[in-house]
A = this chain, B = another copy of it.
Amino acid sequence: MLLHDDRLFPADPVTRGIARRLYAGIRDLPIISPHGHTDPRWFAENAPFPDPATLLVKPDHYIFRMLYSQGVRLEQLGIPRKDGGRGKNKVEADPRAIWRLFASHWHLFRGTPTRLWFEHALSGVFGINERLNVENADRIYDRIAEKLEQDEYRPRALFERFNIEAIATTEGALDELKWHDMIRDSGWAGKVVTAYRPDSVVDPEFEGFKDNLERFGELTGEDVTSWSGYLAAHRARRAYFKQRGATSSDHGHATARTANLSQAECEKLFAKLLKGKFSAEDADLFRGQILTEMARMSLDDGLVLQIHPGSFRNHNPHLFEVFGRDMGSDIPRQTDYVTALKPLLDAVGNEPNLTVIAFTLDETSYSRELAPLAGHYPALKLGPGWWFLDAPEAMLRFRELTTETAGFYNTVGFNDDTRAYLSIPARHDVARRCDCAYLAKLVAEHRLDEDEAAEVAHDLAYRLAKEAYRL
């Protein structure tokens, strides 16, 4: 068997026994996926997924960054170049060739979560219980390709099979959300909601910021050349998103900086940005101010505010130039929260009806900053391990570093944050197993009673995400 029933459980028999019992109580709970990047078009059109490589390899950053690190060129993996790619830069068009190349590098993923997710999909979705290798690559490819043509492998059928109770996608502020409308109009019962991600109209350094603002004004009928009109436009779009089920906004700035300027300062800063002559500091201050504005709007409309800071985007200029954004070269940086979040917390941190969820890529902040902050401010909660930290060892550290100060109930359960649809059951399963393993250790060491651990396991797997995100 590719997947052992006891995977990720501690080896000690007593602890493993507890982990098994805890897991048995939650393994079949529905999936709440409150933050992620699946494509709503899948659920709107319900078309079959294409070939195995296009489904499982090409869109997965975890996969192509690892292969790239070992000398595989992105062209070989079928990643499109901006210039189309010719001659020695030809982009591989044959999905089977991409699959074979991937299979020949499968050993690189030993010890990584990609290994766990991929094999869970192979086994759980496609019933394939062989370890991928060069020899069986073609056979596995064919078997997956064959399944993908069947109706029960279409997006909606998988949604039901995955037992997804609710899933959130993420769309930009200017998105018209037509796929979400189409899903709703289709009469299909699957709950697919959007989330408000306004980077393109919030970040003065975003490509096309001024044009984006113009479109922002058109969509809302607000005068976005004034600060008050600009805020009104946000309110309007948030309401529009909320009508399509949104329960949250999401913000991925380079730092966790927030600001709380006076209205006059905001007007002055905004006017400066509109003129296009501004410093990096001006842009950064503005992004920080917007977080506080979003939090204030959340007090009114109830959207949950998600802050995903600390990534140095597009660290590799060569890849950015040739392939564009999101090519696996976003690198975490040290991230301060104590001073960065203070202006926002000063403004709204004591509001018990507000939910601000902070994420991090910098584990040093867990015990030092985030657990103490979330263990104090009523408005602040801790998001689960994000991105590189969505992995078994990192999940264990997350619990070890935060629980003693913030407890379990200032965290918000799991979210998968993925565009890799087939990995969703795997990711939630890994998270559930890791939390059960952690809880089993607490029980085995007589730090928690098993009946309590069972309740916590259920909360972490289901209730906390559902409640925190108001789904």
Contact = CB atoms under 8 A, between A and B. Distances in A.
A91 interface: no
Contacts of A4: 446
Given A14-B11, A111-B404, A69 B377 contact: yes
A110 B448 contact: yes
A165 interface: no
Interface centre among A65, A69, A317, A362 (most CB of B within 10 A): A69
Interface in A331-370: 331-334, 336, 338-339, 342, 345-346, 349-350, 352, 361-364, 367-369
Given A328-B376, A368-B362, A393 B388 contact: no
A93 interface: no
B404 A112 contact: yes
Contacts of A65: 375-376
A344 to B, nearest CB: 12
Contacts of A152: none
Interface stretch (A34-42, A48-56, A189-197, A437-445): A437-445
A21 to B, nearest CB: 15
Interface stretch (A171-179, A284-292, A407-415): A407-415
A111 B349 contact: no
Contacts of A328: 376
A68 interface: yes
A373 B331 contact: yes
Contact of A108 (B108, B112, B372, B407): B407
A405 interface: yes
Contacts of A376: 65, 68-69, 315-316, 328-329, 331
A407 B445 contact: no
Interface string A309-322: 00010011111000
Contact of A446 (B6, B373, B408): B6
A23 to B, nearest CB: 13
A410 B378 contact: no
Interface centre among A4, A7, A350, A372 (most CB of B within 10 A): A372
| Copies of the polypeptide in the assembly | 3
A301 interface: no
A261 to B, nearest CB: 17
A71 interface: yes
Given A350-B318, A364-B364, A448-B110, A331 B404 contact: no
A265 interface: no
B391 A69 contact: no
Interface residues of A, number: 94
Given A112-B404, A404-B392, A445 B7 contact: yes
A312 B337 CA distance: 12
A372 to B, nearest CB: 5
A295 interface: no
Given A316-B350, A333-B368, A445-B11, A69 B452 contact: no
B316 A447 contact: no
A401 B394 CA distance: 8
A401 B389 CA distance: 10
Interface centre among A315, A339, A455 (most CB of B within 10 A): A315
7 contacts: A69-B380, A111-B399, A111-B408, A331-B373, A362-B364, A367-B388, A393-B400
Given A65-B376, A312-B339, A362-B364, 13 more contacts: A65-B375, A68-B378, A69-B374, A113-B404, A115-B447, A115-B448, A318-B350, A332-B368, A334-B336, A334-B368, A363-B367, A393-B404, A397-B400
Interface of A: 3-4, 6-12, 14-15, 65-66, 68-71, 107-113, 115-116, 131, 312, 315-319, 328-334, 336, 338-339, 342, 345-346, 349-350, 352, 361-364, 367-369, 371-378, 380, 388-389, 391-394, 397, 399-401, 403-410, 441-442, 444-449, 452, 455-456
